[in-house]
Amino acid sequence: MAKRIWPLVVLLTVVSAGPLAAQATSIEFVPYGGALLTMGDLAGATLVDTVTSEETALTLRQKTGLVLGGRLVAWWSRTVGWEFGFAYALSTMEAKVEDGRDRCGEAGGQCNANVWYTSSKILLRYAPRPYRGWQVFGGAGLAVTGHVGEFWEEGEALTDLGGVFNVGASLDLSRVLAIRIDVEDYLYKFEPTLKDDPLVGSVETSKLQNDLVISAGLVIRLSGV
């Protein structure tokens, strides 16, 4: 079901971006960089030796990777805002068997496995009065997660609808610029399907995923300063 409705969610977000921004008291653009940390295995599989018929357990895990992204933030008041974000994580896959060997590490360049995220969320913030140049905030909303790269070229069902939660803080450098720190948690159900892959065999599973993105960015206030 999620696979069918996520394109509509993205379309509605893009269409609504104009009216949402038009009602804002201030608008910010935030380019950022950070790290992707996955909290569990993506999938498990069983390898069968074609000669001995011996079975070997294998687990797939996303390695920690560099994340680059951007956010458009529209604040409607001192406390409530809306944010649209996009992030792309440069990563590789780890395919570990029972004896500790990483089949992806042995295969070299066949395990490129990047991840992208797009999200729409409501933000709530707190800043002291009188204002002292800092604020903290939290948010929640919908997110779409996509798995791309050489490792998934033969895969199916690699894009999933889920939720995103985040907390963060910002510190002003000037009226126009600020430093912003975020921790985002992307939750989604990943349902990959691989058939007779030469590296990992056949994989078909459904698992709840928990991806953390820790980032630092530069807030550029486009209006309302």
What is the pLDDT, as a whole number, of residue 199?
A: 62
| CATH 3.40.50.10470, domain 2-223, yes or no | no
**Look-up of token digits 């993205």:** 10
What is the pLDDT, as a whole number, of residue 200?
A: 59
Give the chain's residues under pLDDT 50. 1-5, 50-52
User: 216: how many CB neighbours lie within 10 A of its CB?
Assistant: 13
| Contact indicator for 129, 164 with CB cutoff of 8 Å | no
Sequence spans of domains, the chain:
2-223
Q: What is the pTM of this model?
A: 0.82
CA distance 173 to 21: 24
What is the pLDDT, as a whole number, of residue 61?
A: 82
